[in-house]
Amino acid sequence: MRYLSLDLGTKRTGVAVGDDETGTALPVSVVETPDEDRLMRAVTGLLVEHGPDAIVIGLPLNMDGTEGKPAEAARAMAERIAAHASIPVHVQDERLTSDAARRRLAETGSTRGRRDDAIAAAIILEEFLGGRP
């Protein structure tokens, strides 16, 4: 099964793709998404470009595992994306993925920038794939 992963943000969204056959996820891009309309147009383009069977969206839980307003907003957006995309949409705990993305960039000698959003999307997808039977 092929997956598209999204790390939603208020200004931009990190994008990654992967599959459960290899269990790998690759960062693809960072898309400017300052509003819902731009996000939905971006999702439409990504669906055409990558042809995923499902979408995985990062869920920003509080450190204690509870859901606050950001998680509620992400769940609501996941529902809207599911209706728009007509394929399954899953949410995945994204706690500490931004920190992990920055560490990966530092390990490669890269500086922090927009790419860390795409790397965070890849980490979200890796964790989702790792937790599946």
Please, are residues 68 and 62 in contact by the beta-carbon 8 Å criterion? yes
- Inform me whether the pLDDT recorded for 17 exceeds 90: yes
All structural domains of the chain? 2-131 (3.30.420.140)
Residue 95: the pLDDT is 81
Please, are residues 29 and 114 in contact by the beta-carbon 8 Å criterion? no
* Sequence-distant (≥ 6) Cβ neighbours of residue 19 within 8 angstroms: 1, 2, 3
Cα–Cα distance between 82 and 88 in angstroms, integer? 6
Q: What is the pTM of this model?
A: 0.88
- Inform me whether the pLDDT recorded for 105 exceeds 80: no
Q: What are the DSSP E strand ranges found in the chain?
A: 2-7, 12-19, 25-32, 54-59, 89-93
